Amino acid sequence: MRGLATRLIRHLVNSTDTLKELSLIYLLCLLCAAGVFALAEGKDFGDSLWWSVVTAMTVGYGDYVPASTAGRLVAVALMHLVPLFVIPLIIVRMLRTFVRDENEFTHAEQQAIKADLAAIKKALKIEQ
């Protein structure tokens, strides 16, 4: 079981490269939390989905409140997972499209560096 959890966490971390994948993770968090809330609190899924969205965004209108231990546990998990992990990852991925690394080498520059290194190795007679 521990190996499965480790693989699952590693897969989740590695699958946060695109906004599409992060949005899917966010949606799955909302749907899973809504499902557990619906079962634990005896609410219909639509109301539970509303509760999960409001809770994930830390608005907390108070129209639906967990009364059971399972409902409270899923609320705590959702209140920490989304604002502390999912939303920051989404923001970072969005910023990557706007922020440009001024020190990033172009392809041509990389090729020139490789050629220079090859020439240096040849001059020093270092095997490649």
Tell me the residue range of the domain where 41 lies.
Answer: 2-100
Asked if 76 and 12 touch (Cβ cutoff 8 Å), the reply is: no
Q: Quote the CA–CA distance of 128 and 111 in Å, as a whole number.
A: 16
Write down the pTM of the prediction.
0.65
Residue for token pair 């910023």: 95
48 belongs to a structural domain: yes
What are 89-123's pLDDT values in tens digits? 888 888 877 887 778 888 899 999 999 999 999 88
CATH of residue 81's domain is: 1.10.287.70
Task: Give the pLDDT band of residue 6 (cuts 50, 70, 90).
Answer: confident
Amino acid at 102: E
Measuring CA to CA, how many Å separate 84 from each of 61, 79, 81, 96? 20, 8, 6, 19
120 belongs to a structural domain: no
Mean pLDDT computed over 32-57? 94
127 belongs to a structural domain: no
pLDDT confidence of residue 69: 93
Residue 114: how many other CB atoms lie within 10 Å: 10
Q: Quote the CA–CA distance of 29 and 10 in Å, as a whole number.
A: 17
What are 57-76's pLDDT values in tens digits? 888 888 889 999 999 999 99
| Average pLDDT score over the chain | 86
- The domain tally of the chain equals 1
Residue 73: how many other CB atoms lie within 10 Å: 13
